[in-house]
Structure 1
Amino acid sequence: MTSPAASRRPRRPAWAGRNYTLLTAAAIVTNLGSHGALIAAAFAVLDAGGDGGDVGLVAAARTVPLVLFLLVGGAVADRLPRHRVMVAANTLNCVSQGAFAVLVIAGEPQLWHMLLLSALGGTGQAFFSPASEGMLMASVTGEQASRAFAMYRMAMHGAGIGGAALGGAMVAAMGPGWVLAVDAAAFAVAGGLRAFLDVRHIRAREPGEGLLSDLRDGWKEFIGRPWLWSIVAQFSVVVAVVGAAEAVYGPLVARDELGGPGPWGLALGAFGLGTVAGAFLMTRWKPRRLLFVGTLCVFPLALPSAALAVPLPVSGLAAVMFVSGAAIEVFGVSWITTMHQEIPEEKFSRVSAYDWFGSVGMVPLATALAGPAESVFGRSSALWGCAVLVVVVTAAVLFVPDVRNLTRRTKEIAQAVPAATGDKPGPRDPVAGDASADAEGSVRRLG
């Protein structure tokens, strides 16, 4: 007999099992710290006497090792327990951000200090991202997968709202060093939560032929799906130009035109609020043509660059950021749902690594060239160029038939879901991972 107290206790949905709950909690903690740290790192460089080119170099220093080690990180995450890879990566990020914070608080850090510590952070991210994405996709299955991903992203981006707003305010009030210290502490807490993930239900991989064989296998999965490689190629440009606009030009426009880090933090917070709204929409809406609808929602990503080029006042920029945040979240949920539907579970992390690799491969070049491009063309022209590139490559990918025609499967799953509940393994869900014959999900792409 159920006690009255137990009956009043709120029940989690069946798909929100132990692993899913831990992953969501850790993502909330991490995003509270990281969104403020993005602002803090840029203003730490500027406060130390750097210019736009130096801001771009520090951003590129984080991305270069991310690109170099992503494929290895994906293969490792499919070979080792994913939660151990995630905890090790969080530890490295904690140490690197903590050292960055100490240097900034103690005095003016040298540019090479910031480059080195940013590179260490990027190395940790290279191993964390494929493992995290694979672990998330393995934590849910069946008909409610799309809703679960939307709820996860809504929680994650909701934390980003507070992180960005609080980070901008803290940078203005206390300086960037303390915001970096908060980010280091957030990595420590998140790593502790992820250490409790249960991977016993995930089927152990058979011994393979080695790392290179795993990478070749992942490449075959990636290149054999036109919808996958074409959208990754699209995002290699989109992520690069949007990243350059937000990491380099955004702080400069904020400093020169908008009044400093506080308004820029408000604009980033509006983007985060938009992602929450978009994720909430996707908990209710299940578009049948996942990739077609998602790709249409990439076009608004051109708006923030255009708004910075004008530049719009803070209220207008915040409105534009909100719209683009909501739109890209529709893409994000559609993308990871497609990935979950089409890619076998045991290859999640490897294929995700190719997705990440293609998506961020051009970011170091874009951020490093952002300063010189501003000098040659002017800041406004460079930002308009970013907006045009987003529109052009997004229109091009709509010519791929699979992008227009790939549809959601709606087969109901009656069996218990071991990955979501943490119970004993049961029959595998054919929707979730065995459909490798059909022709990644960027949980993070821009969020």
Structure 2
Amino acid sequence: MLLVPPFRSFYLGRLVSLAGSAMTPVALAFAVLDASGRPGDLGVVLACQLVPHLALLLVGGAVADRWPRRLVLVAANLGAGLTQGAIALVLIGGAYRLWLVAGLALANGAIEAFTSPALRGIVPELVARDNLQRVNSLLSATGSAVKIVGPTVAGLVVVAVGGGWAIAVDAVSFVAAAAFLARLPRISPAPAARAGLLRDIRDGGRVFFAIPWVWPVALAYAVINLVNVGPWQILGPALTRARSGEATWGVVLSVRAVGLLLMSVLMYRLSVRHPLRFGRLAGALGACSLIALGLGFDPVWLAASAFLGGVGFAASGITWESAVQRHVDATHLGRVSSIDDLLSFSAIPLGQLLVGPAAAAFGGARVALACGITFAVAALAPLGVRAVRSLPGAPRPIAEPEAAPAS
């Protein structure tokens, strides 16, 4: 049973945090639009969340390897709760000013840069390495489930009392998560992480590119995000509405989420001998959604393709998370994770900016099809590297040392 201390406290913290955060996109969008009446304001606020997140990710990775990850996560969740609470108060109190909300969004994005590397790094400290795939499957299933329910709940809260109150719920969830995470054992960082932040970052980059199976898969994810997120988010609703109406797009997204959830549950039980080989092959299924969109499939087949896409994303993500946590040395895990995140997240806004002009020049369907094919090629390309194909699912005999004992 995985839900025993100390992982139980971590899981409960992630559950309440994810539940609150799942409400925020809907709540923030309607709250800013209602307060300002200008869609451009929402774009500024969202950009202010993303830019510091990307700018500080490498620093966040170094911090996650330098200081106890439990301490980093508690401080980050309290900071996120404070900034989200301040945004909620501004919106609820009718004191909306773009500069004020944007400034708070900047702080919130900066805090997130310190959260994600510590989250990925702390899991191997809490569970046995043989259980990492099961743990990541459980976390993935939980995330998928709250993403299905959260936006609907947020919509109801927005209609009933306004978007500011839904953001306030997210603020409370961060504080509750910090309370759960504070109960985790105090794991001391390795002395090797005590050089200097810039030197730590350079050392993390050296390790990232020295591991022969890490950088090919990370670069593949960057290409996938470049050709998938923007086209799917922008061309998906546009092409679907033109062919069969707005309701179809909602159904497609729901079916895709079901695919993510079901595969996450299946991966809890599935034993994979070569996780990256399996993950790359299954990950190519993620291209089905864009290919079906580009080929103009009818709603039933588009939904079926989206389901396969969700299956592929879940299998790929879970095997990748587990492989990194199992085989990357604990003293570099935060920095390696932050470089991986930086490559992936940086590609998303670039793809979002390029998809509009590309669709205007070549047609939305052709762009979606080309992106789907590129997605499939990028997902499979790392299999050309022997280290990717042969990485075992169980720890190597020379695996990195176990985490330091609690102090």
TM-score for both structures, normalised by structure 1? 0.76
CA–CA separation in structure 2 for the residues paired with 1:238 and 1:339: 18
Query: Which residue identity does 2:221 align to in structure 1?
Result: F
Query: Which residue identity does 1:231 align to in structure 2?
Result: V
Q: Tell me what 1:227 maps to.
A: 213
More helix by share: 2
**Local SS of the residue matching 2:384:** coil
**Alignment match of 1:339 (pick from 312, 317, 324):** 324
Pairs within 5 Å for 1:407-426 = 407-409=392-394
Deviation string, structure 1 residues 185-243 (Cα, Å, up to 9, x no partner): 2222212211222124x565357321122222222221112221111111112224433
Q: Tell me what 1:433 maps to.
A: 400
Q: Tell me what 2:372 maps to.
A: 387
Deviation string, structure 1 residues 265-303 (Cα, Å, up to 9, x no partner): 665554443222112211221121211110122223234
Q: Tell me what 1:146 maps to.
A: 133
Q: Tell me what 1:238 maps to.
A: 224
User: Which residues of structure 2 form unaligned runs of 5+?
Assistant: 403-407
**Local SS of the residue matching 2:331:** helix
**Alignment match of 1:214 (pick from 200, 204, 216):** 200
**Alignment match of 1:327 (pick from 312, 317, 322):** 312
Distance 1:26 1:253, change over 3 A: farther
| Cα deviation, residue 180, structure 1 | 2.7
1:183 paired to 2:170: yes
| Cα deviation, residue 128, structure 1 | 0.3
Higher deviation after alignment, 128-137 or 321-330: 321-330
Distance 1:167 1:379, change over 3 A: farther
CA–CA separation in structure 1 for the residues paired with 2:384 and 2:375: 15
**Alignment match of 2:144 (pick from 150, 153, 157):** 157
**Local SS of the residue matching 2:272:** coil
Higher deviation after alignment, 245-254 or 191-200: 245-254
Q: Tell me what 1:85 maps to.
A: 72
**Local SS of the residue matching 1:153:** helix
User: Which residues of structure 1 form unaligned runs of 5+?
Assistant: 1-12, 412-429, 436-447
Q: Is the 8 A contact 1:55 1:248 kept in 2?
A: no
Q: Tell me what 2:390 maps to.
A: 405
Pairs within 5 Å for 1:48-447 = 48-50=36-38, 58-105=45-92, 115-171=102-158, 176-200=163-187, 202=188, 204-205=190-191, 208-245=194-231, 268-306=253-291, 319-370=304-355, 380=365, 382-409=367-394, 433-434=400-401
CA–CA separation in structure 2 for the residues paired with 1:167 and 1:266: 18
Identity %: 33
CA–CA separation in structure 2 for the residues paired with 1:299 and 1:376: 27
**Alignment match of 2:16 (pick from 16, 29, 40):** 29
Query: Which residue identity does 2:5 align to in structure 1?
Result: R
Deviation string, structure 1 residues 71-115 (Cα, Å, up to 9, x no partner): 111111111111121122222322333344445555695665554
Query: Which residue identity does 1:352 align to in structure 2?
Result: S
Query: Which residue identity does 1:210 align to in structure 2?
Result: G
**Local SS of the residue matching 1:345:** coil
Distance 1:116 1:313, change over 3 A: farther
Higher deviation after alignment, 105-114 or 328-337: 105-114
CA–CA separation in structure 2 for the residues paired with 1:151 and 1:431: 27
**Local SS of the residue matching 2:107:** helix
CA–CA separation in structure 2 for the residues paired with 1:224 and 1:41: 41
CA–CA separation in structure 1 for the residues paired with 2:261 and 2:156: 21
Q: Is the 8 A contact 2:213 2:385 kept in 1?
A: yes
Q: Is the 8 A contact 1:149 1:333 kept in 2?
A: yes
Aligned length: 401
Q: Is the 8 A contact 1:227 1:402 kept in 2?
A: yes
Query: Which residue identity does 2:272 align to in structure 1?
Result: P
| Cα deviation, residue 133, structure 1 | 0.8
CA–CA separation in structure 2 for the residues paired with 1:198 and 1:136: 12
CA–CA separation in structure 1 for the residues paired with 2:361 and 2:97: 27
Higher deviation after alignment, 118-127 or 224-233: 118-127
